[in-house]
A and B are shown apart, each in its own frame.
Chain A
């Protein structure tokens, strides 16, 4: 009898434990499904604030995950996250979704590398190497991301301001003295560009640049890569303006023209479709204080930042349906870069913001930032910190699969973070 009692009790205990185990497992599965369902629908019905070091969406539920620690080049990084939601309609009738946070991430480890200690005039990120131009000497170098840097050219080109890689051979060099040149580094053949070049942006098949015109404004010109490679450079006028203060960013099908920004002064941004001088400007953002823009290469999404008395604000605009999402990431849009398409972007986020008028004081070199580098999913709002609390003021970010390169604005040195395999 006693044995039978013990047998029954033992059976009950085992069944209870199995039930608890099953419930726990079901809970875990549900959490994973919830994470996997971070979607556009979630985003527009709910909002997530990127307030933690890692964030994502869980269908609008507010939740707090456990703190996780993983290694970074700066030591261990604390990973945590929270979430809340808010969806509003702005004065233009545009739906604005404030991204509030959540959880879930796959642990990743990235290593920070300094590729070049001296000032770098421009760089091109390849799959397993980075080509760059040393500002002091004008020489082309290659770093294979394993600590090896090789001189690819030996000729010195003085007075270099900036360089733009057309491909691995052809490079546009803008100098403080003399006309800009396009050099073919494989044979040292040089083509001179008889224009003063102010701003440059390029696509896979063309270079766009602004040059001063006789009316005190600027002319936007275009050079096809094809003509460069045929040694037959003939700049084609695309657009003219009676104003000179424009920044440009070209995509394969259009050029974004944004007024130069100043603290709390309204700015406008336009899309010039098709690269045609007869095309009509389409407004992207209007009347926004301290406006800075950053369009994705597929021209489907636009990051833009504003600065007013309340600080920096970063927005994500869907250019297909014109919805605007307010991101809680506080950085300037020029400190971000898009991934290969409009699904992911990377932002250098200042750990603290100086109490000065931005972006003017930053442009003038009067203030600088210490940034962390984040990867953000444009659909779900999931954000992952790739490098935390650096002492770098990150600019000119380029993304190539598992390699992200950038410059430190303070001394123009070249850096990379590489995903550890």
Chain B
């Protein structure tokens, strides 16, 4: 969605003061849509409570060049110019008056991301979850106009965010929607005279945190390109160190997350606060599960499980975030 500003300049040139007064107040010009996008089909129409425009000859000019004329031709259509360009539209109403407007499309983008955890070199977006924060940045595209000292008015579901709005407030940090919920974050930008230059809005949806298990290789480090449960890689030994990587937990809480590990079928252990665990050869056929919780945010929790098979057939099972099934119940 792009939002647009039109600077409308009405210039009335008349030969008598009487007509001047009448024309200034009696012919208005408007566009649909109100803020056309660059290149968007736009209709321009005249309205008057003083004149019977339907009976008057009306001539239209674009950037000073004749475009169309006709009796009662109160409406024309054209494509809005590109970003940074302007089209001057002039309507000459008989020899009574004329009116001009300028279409100068502008846009503003709203970019956002959540302040949630992802691996350092992860190529995907950090997503919002319950009790996380959203960082949003507005990038206005005003063509040749000055983009400094703009006023940014932010809204969530139409509710004005007074404390986050104001001059040069192009960046905000606000709470994410509740779990599985969404809201509409919108924005108006105005110049310092109070004219609206454009607006935009974006729907933001909260997802749930996720934990994914990866092997840690002594020489290669964390194998983040290949999650446990994704592909079968033949290895010479079952012994390995497994790392639980929390996706979409609050970044500021990342050092305080709780890890609860279970190894079953071989022995049972439970450990809190350690993000990795070593599986030994003695535990062939074992499964491992981990649950990560954020003690600072009750709904930020996730668990997953993985069953190791023997050396020859290292097929693996993952039980998916939020869809946990106990490996105890599975028959391999």
Contacts and interface: CB of A to CB of B under 8 A. Distances in A.
Interface of A: 92-94, 119, 135-137, 158-159, 161-162, 176, 198, 216, 241-245, 247, 259-262, 265-268, 270, 281, 283, 286-287, 334, 359-360, 363-368, 409-412
A409 B123 CA distance: 14
A126 B295 CA distance: 53
A411 B223 CA distance: 9
B231 A286 contact: no
Contacts of B120: 198
A365 B230 contact: yes
A409 B141 CA distance: 38
Contacts of A216: 115, 135
A247 B113 CA distance: 14
A136 B221 CA distance: 9
Contacts of A247: 123
A259 B223 CA distance: 24
Contacts, number: 115
B111 A260 contact: no
Contact of B124 (A94, A283, A360, A410): A360
B220 A265 contact: no
Given A243-B135, A286-B2, A363-B124, 16 more contacts: A92-B38, A92-B39, A93-B79, A136-B219, A137-B219, A242-B135, A243-B113, A245-B126, A259-B111, A260-B124, A261-B123, A265-B125, A268-B109, A283-B107, A360-B125, A409-B225
B137 A243 contact: yes
B316 to A, nearest CB: 12
A30 B219 CA distance: 61
B268 interface: no
Contacts of A366: 212, 227, 229-230, 318
A159 B222 CA distance: 10
Contacts of A161: 121, 221
Q: How large is the interface on B (under 10, 10 to 19, 20 to 34, 35 or more residues)?
A: 35 or more
B258 interface: no
Nearest to A137: B219
Contacts of B40: 92-93
Nearest to B202: A266
B139 A365 contact: no
Nearest to B123: A363
28 contacts: A92-B37, A92-B38, A93-B40, A93-B79, A158-B219, A159-B221, A162-B121, A241-B137, A242-B137, A244-B113, A245-B125, A245-B126, A259-B125, A260-B124, A260-B125, A260-B126, A262-B124, A266-B202, A286-B107, A359-B123, A360-B125, A365-B212, A365-B223, A365-B227, A365-B230, A410-B233, A411-B226, A412-B225
B274 interface: no
A122 to B, nearest CB: 13
A286 B220 CA distance: 37
Contacts of A265: 125, 127
A333 to B, nearest CB: 12
Interface string B303-321: 0000000000000001000
Contacts of A359: 123-124
Contacts of A365: 212, 214, 223-227, 230
A368 B112 CA distance: 28
Most interface-central of B120, B219, B229 (chain A CB within 10 A): B219
A260 B226 CA distance: 20
Contacts of B266: none
A193 B37 CA distance: 44
Contacts of B223: 365
Contacts of A261: 123-125
Most interface-central of B109, B111, B135, B214 (chain A CB within 10 A): B111
A363 B113 contact: no
B1 interface: yes
Nearest to A267: B125
Interface string B98-140: 0000000001010111010000111111110000000101010
Given A92-B39, A176-B221, A286-B2, A364 B124 contact: yes
Nearest to B38: A92
B113 A260 contact: yes
B14 interface: no
Contact of B113 (A136, A245, A270, A286): A245
Given A243-B113, A365-B226, A93 B39 contact: yes
A409 B112 CA distance: 29
Contact of B220 (A136, A162, A287, A334): A136
List the 3 closest A-B pairs by CB distance, nearest first: A93-B39, A262-B125, A365-B227
Contacts of B113: 243-245, 259-260
B20 to A, nearest CB: 38
B92 interface: no
Nearest to B205: A265
Contacts of B135: 216, 242-243
Given A268-B111, A365-B224, A242 B122 contact: no
Nearest to B200: A287
A360 to B, nearest CB: 5
A366 B229 CA distance: 7
B247 interface: yes
Contacts of A268: 109, 111, 139
Nearest to A245: B113
A159 B218 CA distance: 9
Interface in B215-257: 219-227, 229-231, 233, 247
A406 to B, nearest CB: 14
A176 B218 CA distance: 12
A335 B121 CA distance: 17
A121 to B, nearest CB: 10
Nearest to A156: B219
A3 to B, nearest CB: 80
Interface in B133-156: 135, 137, 139, 141
